[in-house]
Amino acid sequence: PSMAQNGRVTTDFKQSNQAHNSNAFARREEIRQQRESLPIASVKERLIEEVKKHDVLIIVGETGSGKTTQIPQFLFSAGFCREGKSVGITQPRRVAAVTVAKRVAEECGVELGQKVGYSIRFDDRTSGVTRIKYMTDGLLLREALLDPYLSRYSVVIVDEAHERTVHTDVLLGLLKNVQKARLKSGTLDVIASKKNGTNGTLPGKEGISQSANVLKQSQDRKFPPLKLIIMSASLDARVFSEYFGGARAVHIQGRQHPVDILYTLYPEKDYVDAALVTIFQIHLEERHGDILVFLTGQEEIEAVERLVQERLRQLPESNRKLVTVPIFSSLPSEQQMRVFMPAPDGHRKVVLATNIAETSVTIPGIKFVIDPGFVKARSYDPAKGMESLIIIPTSKAQALQRSGRAGREGPGKCFRLYPESEFEKLEDSTKPEIKRCNLANVILQLKALGVDDIFGFDFIEKPSRAAIVKSLEHLFLLGALTDDCKLSDPVGHQMARLPLDPIYSKALILASQFNCLEEMLITVAMLSVDSVFYAPREKLDESRTAAKCFASPDGDHITLINVYRAAEDLLEKRKWVPHTERNEKIFKAKSEKIFKRWCKENFINGRSVRHARDIHSQIRGHVEQMGLRITSCGDDMLQFRRCLAASFFINAALKQPEGNYRAFGTGQVVQIHPSSVLFQSKVECVVFNEMVQTTNKYIRNVTRIEYMWLTELAPHYYTMQS
């Protein structure tokens, strides 16, 4: 090669490389400055000393002070990750685990999944060299099943403990035991509660070999103590401190600018509409600054997103400089990061968030907060054994957290969409989730961990006896427990292994016997995501007509399968068009575009379908590992419906003369939800998956079954009833 050519190439390369380097340099410098200006930076050394001195430490600090992103890095640099040990940080929310891990990887200048990674259900970005690992609290609970001493961690940080999710509460109890067990480095006994003399041996073949293994391990080597850090944004550290025998608590000073709180004069009938009006009021009347709106879920967020776009189109060109960015947990992770990016020049950003943005993630640039005052929460009625999602008013503590988000970088404003007199009526703080949810899942996991005496388990706050009893009964009905309340073999153990709600795990296990596991995998994946159909208020008729082409007269489960398969055909281009080379090429290039258009035309939520495909491939992996037979029932949907009846028999309902339905298990009078394909149909008997309560009690995801199947397929329940 000639010198000239070589020279040119090299210079070009150098130039672009230089540009890249200086960009990267600027970015690193920016990040360094951001980190140094965080309130937590000035107390780094003191914090490290505290962790060294105390095995349990409670850190309270205002949201945005740098707890989540900085403390793990402090610990890493202080040598807590020597000898291959890791720092694990748990988050109640998937989004927080993902976005924070990405940020910290960038701060450390490493690729995600190397030194810094995250692991959440159905998505693992860690490797053997990961030392700072963000994860959901539920995931760490699952890890404990395979590694009861959590031996790979030198420090576990339970973040956002004030949220008091059911997983956080159970995890705290578990960690307390692991800490004791590590000190003794003895047998697994300590892990199980000893109140009634159980020795903590895991039942079943697999369990016995597992604990024998652990015993051997612990004889071979001693475990170093486990450091435990509990982080919370709520000032009240007392509950945690008391639970850990008077553990040390430290407070980190934050910086907070004044926030003007504005209330409405009268109660708002429709808070979505009120939020919309407020967004435009701020946009047109206030100076620069981004807006954060708290909504209750994906459907609401997407509806507001569409409405904002529509109204923008009606404004003069010069007023259209407004961009919307959604954030909720099932949003694909690349899209979640968009909330952290500044809006294009001269534009204002409106972040539409669930209560994720309350304390878990801090978004820069927010000056205005719109708080309708509601949150979606789980609610459980132990008498009826029914869990439902309801929209309830926030607590005072939540309202304060939300308004605080407006004053991080300068003075801000918070618009509460309710009258001031309503604020006084709010509860002080949110009730821990463990007091208002179905405990079947938790009990199944505790049993798998060797905790047989659920009543004796050292919960930070005990769930009611009635709720425990009802949940045990539920597991018993599903065949997960034996007569003496041990995990059954193999069903109970298989169910504990699947990262799903027990009733779905059972459905998969049964489906392999009914030869319809392929269909059930799709169903469970589709039921695990937010709603697949959307019905904008303005286009209700159009969307209903579109949905009809997937509708099965048998019900929603088969309808969901139809949608999934249609999407699959599009994305994998299988049956859609004849397989010619030309088609193949065109569709390869255009399949994404076609999929998007197809979603739009059919009022289908593309994000949800993609998410379902993801979940599908993960659960498929699990059931394959378990050795279940994956076969399809083909066109024999009768078989599939029988399997649904056998799986969801606890949620069956019978038509009443006046047209309503009555749920067998609970005796509640319910109606089929308007979004169901069986809405207004006259079927006699159905099974369903979900109950939602608004003005009426509605059942969702409903399929037609024969009444007789129930006594045939679930005689243990239905002979008992009659």
Partner whose binding site includes residue 432, from ligand ADP, Mg ion, none (CB under 5 to 8 Å by kind): none
Q: Which residue matches tokens 């489960």? A: 557
| Min CB(529)–ligand ADP separation in Å | 24
Which residue's CB is nearer to Mg ion, number 67 or number 413? Answer: 67
Q: By C-beta, is 90 or 689 nearer to Mg ion?
A: 90
Taking the least distance from each CB to ligand ADP, the nearer of 64 and 382 is 64
**Minimum separation from the CB atom of position 67 to ligand ADP (A):** 3
Query: What does each C-alpha distance from 587 to 113, 191, 582 come to in angstroms?
Result: 33, 56, 9
User: How far is residue 408's CA from residue 45's CA, in Å, rounded to a whole number?
Assistant: 25
Task: State the residue for tokens 């027990």.
Answer: 502
How distant, in Å, are the alpha carbons of 234, 261, 370, 378, 391 from that of 163? 9, 24, 21, 13, 17
Taking CB under 5 A as the criterion, which residues in 68-87 touch Mg ion?
A: 68
Residue 66 near which of ligand ADP, Mg ion, none (CB within 5-8 Å, type-dependent): ligand ADP
Distance CA 287, CA 78 (A): 44
Residue 70 CB, shortest distance to ligand ADP, in Å, is 6
Q: How far is the CB of 593 from ligand ADP (least distance, A)?
A: 29
Could you tell me the two tokens for 274?
A: 């009120």
Nearest approach in angstroms of CB 485 to Mg ion is 39
Q: Which does 130 bind (CB under 5 to 8 A by kind): ligand ADP, Mg ion, none?
A: none
**Among the residue ranges 67-75, 328-336, 609-617, 631-639, the one whose residues contact Mg ion (CB under 5 A):** 67-75
Q: Select the binding partner of residue 362 from Mg ion, ligand ADP, none (C-beta < 5 to 8 A, by kind).
A: ligand ADP
Q: How far is the CB of 100 from ligand ADP (least distance, A)?
A: 6
Q: Which positions lie near ligand ADP, rule CB under 6 A?
A: 38, 61, 63-70, 99-100, 102-103, 340, 362, 364
Closest to Mg ion by CB, 163 or 452: 163
**Minimum distance between the CB of residue 104 and ligand ADP, rounded to whole angstroms?**
8
To the nearest 10°, report the CA torsion of 225, 231, 235, 239. Answer: -50
Segment near Mg ion (CB under 5 A); pick from 54-62, 66-74, 300-308, 380-388: 66-74
CB of 61 to Mg ion, least distance (A): 8
Q: Would you say 104 or 478 has its CB closer to ligand ADP?
A: 104
Q: 477 near 502, Cβ under 8 Å?
A: no
Q: CB-wise, 231 or 522, nearer to ligand ADP?
A: 231
Among Mg ion, ligand ADP, none, the one that 84 touches (CB under a kind-dependent 5 to 8 A) is none
74 vs 603, beta carbon nearer ligand ADP: 74
Minimum CB distance to ligand ADP, residue 330 (Å): 18
Q: Does 65 bind Mg ion (CB under 5 A)?
A: no
Residue closer to ligand ADP (CB basis): 230 or 480: 230
**b/e per residue 458-494 (b: at least 16 CB within 10 A):** ebbeebeeebbebbbebbbbbebbeeeebbbeebbbb
Considering only the stretches 59-67, 122-130, 290-298, 443-451, report the one whose residues sit in contact with Mg ion under the rule CB under 5 A.
59-67
Q: Which helix (H) or strand (E) holds 397?
A: helix 396-404
Spatial separation of the C-alpha atoms in residues 64 and 39, rounded to whole Å = 9
Which residue has the CB atom at the shortest distance from Mg ion? 68
Q: Pick one of ligand ADP, Mg ion, none as the site partner of residue 704 (Cβ within 5 to 8 A by kind).
A: none
Sign of the dihedral defined by the CA atoms of residues 554, 559, 560, 565, in that order = positive
The DSSP string of 275-340 is HHHHHHHHHHHS-S-EEEEE-SSHHHHHHHHHHHHHHHHTS-GGG--EEEEEE-TTS-HHHHGGGG
Whole-angstrom distance, CA of residue 711 vs CA of residue 705 = 12
Nearer to ligand ADP, 70 or 154 (CB): 70
**DSSP-derived secondary structure letter, 649:** G
Question: Would you call 184 helix, strand, or coil by DSSP?
Answer: helix
Minimum separation from the CB atom of position 252 to ligand ADP (A): 8
**Which residues, at least 6 apart from 496, have a Cβ–Cβ distance to it below 8 Å?**
145, 444, 445, 447, 448, 480, 487
Question: Of Mg ion, ligand ADP, none, which one sits near residue 224, judging by CB under 5 to 8 A according to partner kind?
Answer: none
Of residues 231 and 500, the one with the C-beta less far from Mg ion: 231
Nearer to ligand ADP, 27 or 600 (CB): 27
Residues in the chain: 722
CA pair distance 682, 19, nearest whole angstrom? 69
- To ligand ADP, the closest distance from the beta carbon of 65 in angstroms equals 4
The amino acid occupying position 720 is M
One-character DSSP codes across 509-532: HHHHHTT-HHHHHHHHHHHTSS-S
| Residues that bind Mg ion in the complex, under the rule CB under 5 A | 67-68
